[in-house]
Amino acid sequence: MGLLSRRGALASGSCGLVLVVSGCGGLVPTSEPLQTVYVTSTVTTVSPGPVGPGGAEGPDTAQLTVPPVADPRPGGMDLSGVIDGVPSPVGIAVAGVGGRSEVQTAGVVQSGAAWSTIKVPLAVAVARVSPASLESASTAITASDNAAAERLWDALGGGASSAAGIGAVLADGGDSTTRVPTVRTRAEYSIFGQTRWPLVDQARFGSLLPCIGSSARVLDLMGRVSPDQSWGLGRIPGARFKGGWGPGESGGYLVRQFGIVPAAGGEVAVAIAVESASFDQGVGTLSAVADALALRLPSLQGEQC
């Protein structure tokens, strides 16, 4: 789920509805479950304001009106209609599963630190060489436990060896450009969490994730993410997903998710990223975008491996 921090981690599964320094990452003001109100084609998502070092704030509300789908194919989807009216900088990328359609993108946020979303190719890499290690650290995906993710990293040998293992999985998923760091670039966070992962490459990887070797167990874990982390794409029935967030170097938060969601006749891969002033605001905005996308999925032609 969250940013990957080495400091003050609590035990796995401790991401409650309080301000925590948890295995899910850093000082993160968690929120109450989001509430969504549907009025015809308008989606309004209300998130309680954050309670953190800056004190309580009012609700963060994102409202957007979704126009009809002009083209039901993943390659022809008008993604600008999904993010129109979003108050925060946002980006989205979508591709049909199987890698046969082009990745469609929209929005101004198109890259950033991967944070905990990189745990997915990390877990696949470990499943290829040490399945027992993946089983013992399954909370790295389901609860975004950072200590569990560090164990996965170590299972690959650490440093350049681990980076190469993740890179090989990314390449199998059609992403031959993303590079995993081999040394820590921000002292308080994990090496792998600082990977710069563009949305277009993340969506392309997601579109091929069900098709590559040793991914089945990881995809199963992505379908069993803990309820307190099931915002955004997690609000779509049948979604398999992973979230991540962390503070920007100049303030604010980057909140992002990627995953695979059902569509007509198949599935589509989706990557979304939001830049926001607070974690709760980012979660509310990302959930609003996911809700807007969900309205279009019954008319969007999905694909398969």
Q: What angle do CA 7, 277, 139 make, to 5 degrees?
A: 40
* Strand-pair partners of 52: 55
Q: Where are the alpha helices (DSSP H) in the chain?
A: 80-83, 119-129, 131-136, 139-142, 146-155, 159-172, 199-208, 216-222, 279-296
Q: How far is CA 72 from CA 6, 263, 296, in A?
A: 44, 10, 9
Cα 154 to Cα 149: distance, rounded to the nearest angstrom: 9
| Under 8 Å between Cβ of 73 and 101 | yes
pTM comes to: 0.77
| Under 8 Å between Cβ of 89 and 252 | no
Q: Residue 185 corresponds to which tokens in the numbers above?
A: 């670039």
Cα 199 to Cα 186: distance, rounded to the nearest angstrom: 22
Amino acid (one-letter) located at 185: T
Cα 234 to Cα 142: distance, rounded to the nearest angstrom: 12
The CATH number of domain 19-299, selected from 3.40.710.10, 3.90.110.10, 3.40.50.1100, 3.30.1490.190: 3.40.710.10
- Nearest CA to 272 out of 145, 32, 89, 61 is that of 89
pLDDT at position 23 is 35
Cβ-count burial 69-107 (b if 16+ within 10 Å, e if not): beebebeebebebbbeebebbbbbbbbbbbbebebbbbb
Cβ-based neighbour number of residue 126 at 10 Å: 29
* Per-residue pLDDT tens listing for the chain (305 residues): 444 433 333 233 333 322 232 333 332 333 333 333 222 233 333 333 333 332 222 333 344 433 333 344 454 567 888 999 898 999 999 999 998 889 999 999 999 999 999 999 999 999 999 999 999 999 999 999 999 999 999 999 999 999 999 999 999 999 999 999 999 989 889 999 999 999 999 999 999 999 999 999 999 999 999 999 999 999 999 999 999 999 987 889 999 999 999 999 899 999 999 999 999 999 999 999 999 999 999 988 889 99
Question: Torsions phi, psi of 108, nearest 5?
Answer: -95, -20
Residue ranges of the domains in the chain? 19-299
